[in-house]
Chains A and B, each alone.
Chain A
Amino acid sequence: MLQEESDLSLIIAQIVQKLKGSNLYSQLERQAWASLQRPEIKLESLKEDIKEFFKISGWEKKLQNAVYSELSVFPLPSHPAAPPEHLKEPLVYMRKAQGSWEKRILKSLNSMCTELSIPLARKRPVGEQKELLNKWNEMGTDEPDLSLFRPVYAPKDFLEVLINLRNPNYENGDSLSFRTHLGLIQVPLKVKDIPELKECFVELGLNTGQLGIDDSTQVPPELFENEHVRIGQKVLAEQDSAAAQQYIRQGSPTALRAELWALILNISSEPEDVLYYEQLKTNVIQHDLLVDSLIYKDVKLTASNDDYYFVFEDYLYQVLLCFSRDTSVLSHFAYNSASPPKSYIRGKLGLEEYAVFYPPNGVIPFHGFSMYVAPLCFLYHEPSKLYQIFREMYVRFFFRLHSISSHPSGIVSLCLLFETLLQTYLPQLFYHLREIGAQPLRISFKWMVRAFSGYLATDQLLLLWDRILGYNSLEILAGDAQK
């Protein structure tokens, strides 16, 4: 009991520390000062009265949402003496594997750089800056020569790395038994089995109404849909993050989805956020990065060729180019097993004072990266809001899909979960596919890495992502791949 309590107070202290630096804190402070003018605030009961005021005016709710948001991202409590690497990734062999994978990516990027003699970054001449500013809303019409650029890596390259992951402390034994895992992933991570999944994802059971199933044309709307929509509107009116997250496990009505996701991710477009986005845009205008060409190439290869997302091509540039310059993204590396690549000023290799993170946000895009953004364009049309939503989705979920870690929502666990489910519950299919040389994971891997973007129709994809937000976990991707 005592241990739990001290864990809890540690978490509380850390969250308070984090929120103290946020905009919400200064707003609350201002509100508190301003409330002194109000007649109902009396000096004798100052603390209670201000608390009451916060409750009524909705500020308490905002604070609640912010705390809830921090909790969602906060890593599980660990031993107080654990070094920070453990927060990123507790298992040594995983850390090592991620480290060497990163080295490979960086090497590939650097060699491309040398081959093409293009600097990693350069300042744009004024004329070019002006031109880009004019074209900001239609960058898709640009047709730069990208033939020499190749994506730094594709999902299948990453899969090869995962297949070769081994825990050096684990001896599998040579004899095959019915327990032997016949899939490609050969690391002993704990994944949930069906009874555990059923317990975890209880709202997805057959007895509970679901959007996407129980709102089809055959089912009269009175049975489920109408009530569900009504509850959704109520949740939005209350502006309660936690309630929204619970609600969305059964799917979100189309008209409410954009607001619900913003509420769950605790995104509210304050003027400061718009300003921040504008600053990122200025960065893009002033400096050209090598990764920009990679982003262009990726958009042209994937989203632009998609039957449905081609329309949003311009938005994708506006989001991704700014994303690569956003240093606030660096903070997520505290709990991401990956580390941002470092680049050294010319001639000062190895000297830490001359090191910068490259790209500034530490995320090197791979083939298909732009597809993380594309479905969001369906919901958000204002560039800075679209940007915020994407950034939050990335630092909460998407980063786990392309970094090597033991986290239950990490791609390694998802692959293992997928293979285990398939081998256990659809063994005939599993063995058949293996017989014909098509390991099931090779087919489903790319679906999971992209969170099914581009592989599912948008309406279904959005319902799937509803559940990711609702359960704060990516495990549903493995379940979906298995289906």
Chain B
Amino acid sequence: MNTLMDVLRHRPGWVEVKDEGEWDFYWCDVSWLRENFDHTYMDEHVRISHFRNHYELTRKNYMVKNLKRFRKQLEREAGKLEAAKCDFFPKTFELPSEYHLFVEEFRKNPGITWIMKPVARSQGKGIFLFRRLKDIMDWRKDTRNSDDQKDDIPVENYVAQRYIENPYLIGGRKFDLRVYVLVMSYIPLRAWLYRDGFARFSNTRFTLNSIDDQYVHLTNVAVQKTSPDYHPKKGSKWMLQRFRQYLASKHGPQAVETLFRDMDNIFIKSLQSVQKVIISDKHCFELYGYDILIDQDLKPWLLEVNASPSLTASSQEDYELKTCLLEDTLHVVDMEARLTGREKRVGGFDLMWNDGPVSRDEGPPDLSGMGNFVTNTHLGCVNDRKKQLRQLFCSLQVQKKASN
């Protein structure tokens, strides 16, 4: 079920361009970008779906570096408390370059579990868990031996990350959240948050005992699909609305508010940390898939950011979600030049950051003047996008007629 093709083909006034024809919009993949971006001339109105060096955010080793640097900067400028807001990323070390730093940290916390992740691969490939340094020694030997290539090709970069041992469980199962963030520009930073998303469940029950059982710990749908327990009919996903309701009935609305506010913080800080590094080209926009893990204290952790979140649908519900997501993305990109640029909500997208925080602007004005600011995010809330879009485009039409 190819959602992207369906959405693009059904968009009124859009025509598919084949081969070497001239295009105004390209939903490209990262390999094309790498090879062609630098020597492709694009008119002002042209749009392309990736930033040139998005890997600053999406490759685990770069992201860690950028975040660490940003944290230091925050500490200098705004103090320890503000810098602590960046502590949503489990301690991570690049290997082999930071091996010694890693070993130091490892020895400080004996017995905890670490996870080894390849820097550039996706879908859960190449990931494993370990508790002893011996396990990495064995793995290094294995990869070297199985390598029948020449010696001077470097071993793929990995990161070793502290494994979150107390994940929040539902029905005894571990899960992570997939959230969609649309960035229209980095300078200034304009980011939109999509209301829908989903929680991906592991099929097997969580226990730390079977570290070898890859399936328990990795919740990517791709890995789950190869698990012997996987039954395609099940879907193993919950829409975020469901998840939010479940938490609210268990912990109360206040706790849920706090959790979602903390998640907003993750999105903003992660984007801010790469703001100065990413080449902000006005032709570029990017739809990121954030992977978030919640622990038992209801603290959210950032697992990773995906520049090309999967757009294939695993079920009817999933198809709905992804097609609406893409439609709304195209609305925000606004090739049709219908928007005024002052909108705070387009379909399921809420403007989260516009060179500064965006407020919800509801309710009575804040007379105390102190942080009663509520951000304009509605993650996991009701998504009445059809109605909103109808009203939006209607009023835009009226405005246009009036000004003509």
**Counting CB contacts under 8 A, is A40 at the interface?**
no
Q: Is the CB of A141 within 8 A of B382?
A: no
Residues of B whose CB lies within 8 Å of any CB of A are: 170-173, 201, 204-205, 229, 231, 233-238, 242, 245-246, 248-250, 252-253, 315, 317, 381-382, 384
Q: Is the CB of A141 within 8 A of B229?
A: yes
The number of A-B residue pairs with CB atoms under 8 Å apart is: 59
Known A138-B172, A254-B245: A310·B234 in contact at CB below 8 Å: yes
- Chain B hits for A254, CB < 8 A: 245, 248-249, 253
Known A254-B245, A378-B246: A313·B171 in contact at CB below 8 Å: yes
**Counting CB contacts under 8 A, is A304 at the interface?**
yes
Measured between alpha carbons, how far is A38 from B172 in the docked complex, in Å?
Answer: 48
Q: Is the CB of B238 within 8 A of A314?
A: no
Instruction: State the majority secondary structure of interface residues on B.
Output: mixed
- Chain B hits for A217, CB < 8 A: 381-382, 384
Q: Is the CB of A307 within 8 A of B173?
A: no
Minimum CB–CB distance for A345 against chain B, Å: 39
Q: Is the CB of A308 within 8 A of B242?
A: yes
Measured between alpha carbons, how far is A443 from B61 in the docked complex, in Å?
Answer: 56
Q: Is the CB of A305 within 8 A of B171?
A: no
Known A138-B205, A314-B171, A315-B171: A307·B253 in contact at CB below 8 Å: no
- Contacts A304-B234, A308-B238, A378-B245 known; 19 new A-B pairs at CB < 8 A: A138-B204, A140-B205, A141-B205, A216-B382, A217-B384, A254-B248, A255-B248, A255-B249, A305-B234, A307-B238, A307-B315, A307-B317, A310-B235, A310-B236, A311-B170, A311-B171, A311-B201, A314-B171, A378-B249
- Chain A hits for B233, CB < 8 A: 305
List 23 A-B pairs, Cβ < 8 Å. A137-B172, A138-B172, A138-B205, A140-B205, A141-B204, A216-B382, A254-B245, A254-B248, A254-B249, A255-B249, A257-B249, A304-B231, A304-B234, A305-B234, A307-B237, A307-B315, A308-B242, A311-B171, A314-B205, A315-B171, A379-B249, A458-B242, A459-B245
**Counting CB contacts under 8 A, is A312 at the interface?**
yes
- Chain B hits for A315, CB < 8 A: 171
Minimum CB–CB distance for B206 against chain A, Å: 10
Q: Which listed residue (B238, B249, B381, B384) contacts A311, Cβ 8 A?
A: B238
Q: Which of A307, A315, A459 has the most CB of B within 10 A?
A: A307
Minimum CB–CB distance for B347 against chain A, Å: 15
Q: Is the CB of A381 within 8 A of B245?
A: no
Closest to B384 in A: A217
Closest to A313 in B: B171
Minimum CB–CB distance for A353 against chain B, Å: 44
Measured between alpha carbons, how far is A258 from B245 in the docked complex, in Å?
Answer: 13
Q: Which listed residue (A307, A381, A458) contacts B235, Cβ 8 A?
A: A307
Minimum CB–CB distance for B185 against chain A, Å: 29
**Counting CB contacts under 8 A, is A63 at the interface?**
no
Measured between alpha carbons, how far is A141 from B317 in the docked complex, in Å?
Answer: 25
Measured between alpha carbons, how far is A154 from B237 in the docked complex, in Å?
Answer: 28
**Counting CB contacts under 8 A, is A330 at the interface?**
no
Measured between alpha carbons, how far is A308 from B317 in the docked complex, in Å?
Answer: 11
Minimum CB–CB distance for A377 against chain B, Å: 7
Measured between alpha carbons, how far is A305 from B382 in the docked complex, in Å?
Answer: 25
Measured between alpha carbons, how far is A307 from B315 in the docked complex, in Å?
Answer: 10
Measured between alpha carbons, how far is A217 from B241 in the docked complex, in Å?
Answer: 14
Contact string against B for A residues 296-338, beta-carbon threshold 8 Å, 1 for contact and 0 otherwise: 0000000011011011111100000000000000000000000
Contact string against B for A residues 425-468, beta-carbon threshold 8 Å, 1 for contact and 0 otherwise: 00000000000000000000000000000000011000000000
Considering only residues 124-150 of chain A, those with a C-beta below 8 Å from chain B are 137-138, 140-141
Q: Is the CB of B238 within 8 A of A458?
A: no
Minimum CB–CB distance for B350 against chain A, Å: 13
Q: Which of B231, B236, B237, B246 has the most CB of A within 10 A?
A: B246
